[in-house]
Amino acid sequence: MIDEPLIENKWIPLNQRDRLSYLHIMGIGLGNLAPHLLFVIIPTLFTPIAQSLKVSSLAQTFTLFYGSFAGFACAPLVGVYSDACTFRWGRRRIFIVTGSVFMTLGLLLMTYCVDIGKFLSGDKDPLRAQQALFIISYMATVTAGNIANAPTRTICSDVCPPKQQSLMANICSVFSALGGITVNTFGGFKIYSYTSLGQEQFLLIVSSVLIAFSITVTAIVAKEEPLTVKPPKVRPFKRIFDAIRTMPKPFSRTAIPYLLAQMALFQFNFGFSNFMGSDIFGGDNSAPEGSEAKKAYQNGLSWAMMCNVAKFGTQFLYGFVNHKVCELIGMKATSVAGYITLSAGLITFFWVNNQYPYLAISILVGAGYAVAMSVPYAIVSLVSPQQELGAYLGILMMCTVIGEQLSNFGIGQGFGLIWPNCPRKMIGISCAFGFIAAILSFWTIEPKVPNKSEYQSINEISATEETK
């Protein structure tokens, strides 16, 4: 059962208890499945859908730029405003639920963008309307996902006892992997063929259902303590700037390698399904329905999703033991080993031409991804004052966005001039950033005990400046 202890009829806040039951921690962390599932299915299907609708390469690049810009803007702003929110049911849940509702609506619009485009166009060529609806649905969905993303992760640290922060970080990583396993299993085994829907439509609908379910559970069991005193007026951009200035050294030492790891992962996340469908299987998703080229591409997409099952399966299983590994060899050694493993998987894209080795390669990438999505968050949770955790986690998510866009424009457009339409080399060259992340991780500072008194608060520095 989910524990709700009372002492003399007085409710004990979750984060003030000695520890929570494992089931309760899993219920709190389940909400992380929603935004992470979104950020799994969108990269997997973005290029295949864009190619089927003949969206230009330049339009794809700027659409992806908007997706990352939404994360860059939303993550820190939502973090700051949620830190100061006085909603009666807690600071984070209003953002989580609102974002998830619009995530679901955006995915449904993307699912039926072709049909709606035909309906709106009447007797005219529907392609332009379909392209516009696809881009609009993508923009709305990723904006909503970024609104929910930071609060979904932050609420876990808010309500978790200090002794279980590392465990909570790994449970969050597990659930972000579980969503990827589920939806990619449906795609890998071609479950869509038993329905009247196409592969992309079927997977988007499954994702919508899983998002709604996971958020409902977390909203019920993650009981927050609301702010009872109206906080001072928040100036978000100044608070973010102050948060960067007062960033604890362990934070900055883990944030930079994390940013580089996101650079390494971006081309794989958005290019792997297209690489498998076009390069390995020799298909074309823009070919007419029923053609051999179309079938070959869809078979490649299914195999890419099977490889993603191996990737997210590795992340899922490793998430249960990562906190033990960190206790055994330390967070520094874990980060170094994880980023090296990630890069070792990416570099093989230069020469591997058979579909089957990519199952093992995906396992290497999954292990590195598991480390990247758990160790930095655990460190930040330990060194950040609780009342400012949303702002600091928002900054960490900004690092994700910066890394993605450096890869999007630097590798995608820069190296794209040298290697046009060559996802193999784009993914392979990204390994360099993973190796640099591994080298920089040797300077990671490991916080053994959450001693917040060692770090200057954002509020403290703001008060000092106002006094001056």
Q: What is the pLDDT of residues 38-90, one digit of tens each?
A: 888 888 888 889 888 888 878 888 888 888 788 777 766 787 777 777 777 77
- pLDDT per position as a tens digit, 140-160: 999 999 888 878 888 888 888
CA distance 179 to 70: 22
Q: Higher confidence at residue 265 or residue 326?
A: 265
30 CB-near residues (< 8 Å, 6+ apart): 175, 214, 217, 218
Residue 452, pLDDT score: 46
Reported residue count of the chain is 468
Domains annotated for the chain, with CATH where assigned, are: 19-225+236-446 (1.20.1250.20)
Residue 292 identity = E
Which residue matches tokens 């986690």?
Answer: 393
Average pLDDT over residues 257-285: 89
Number of alpha carbons in the 13 Å side-chain half-sphere of residue 215: 29
Q: Rounded mean pLDDT of the chain?
A: 82
Are the CB atoms for 411 and 103 separated by under 8 Å?
no
What pLDDT sits at residue 461?
44
Nearest to 312 by CA among 11, 73, 39: 39
pLDDT by residue (tens digit) across 416-444? Answer: 677 777 788 889 989 999 999 999 989 88
89-106 burial code (b ≥16 CB/10 A, e <16): ebbbbbbbbebbebbbeb
What is residue 306's predicted lDDT score, i.e. its pLDDT? 92
Round to whole Å and give the CA distance between 363 and 294: 28
Residue 3 pLDDT: 53
Q: Please state which of the ranges 216-220, 225-229, 275-279, 459-463 shows the lowest mean pLDDT.
A: 459-463
**The most confident of 182-186, 325-329, 340-344, 459-463, by mean pLDDT:** 340-344
- CB contact at 8 A, 290 and 148: no
Q: Provide the CA 193 distance to its chain's centre, in angstroms.
A: 28
For residue 48, which phi and psi values (nearest 5 degrees)?
A: -55, -45
Q: Which of 100, 87, 39, 55 is nearest to 401 (CA)?
A: 39
Whether residue 241 is predicted with pLDDT greater than 70 in this model: the reply is yes
Encoded amino acid at 163, one letter:
K
What tens digit of pLDDT does each residue of 14-42 get?
A: 766 777 888 888 888 888 888 888 888 88
Phi, then psi, of 18 in degrees rounded to 5:
-65, -45
Residue pair 37/180 in contact (Cβ under 8 Å)? The answer is yes
Instruction: Tell me what the mean pLDDT of segment 402-408 comes to.
Output: 86
Query: For residue 9, what pLDDT band results from cuts at 50, 70 and 90?
Result: low
C-alpha–C-alpha distance, residues 325 and 322, integer Å: 5
- State the pLDDT confidence band at 464, using cuts at 50, 70 and 90: very low
Radius of gyration of the chain (CA): 22
What gap in Å lies between CA 279 and CA 289, rounded to an integer? Answer: 19
The predicted pLDDT at position 451 comes to 47
Q: Can you tell me the mean pLDDT for 453-467?
A: 48
Listed range (264-278, 289-303, 412-426) with the worst mean pLDDT: 412-426
pLDDT, position 432: 92
Q: Which residues pair with 48 in a beta bridge?
A: none
Highest mean pLDDT among 7-11, 150-154, 395-399, 457-461: 150-154
How confident is the model at residue 258, as a pLDDT? Answer: 93
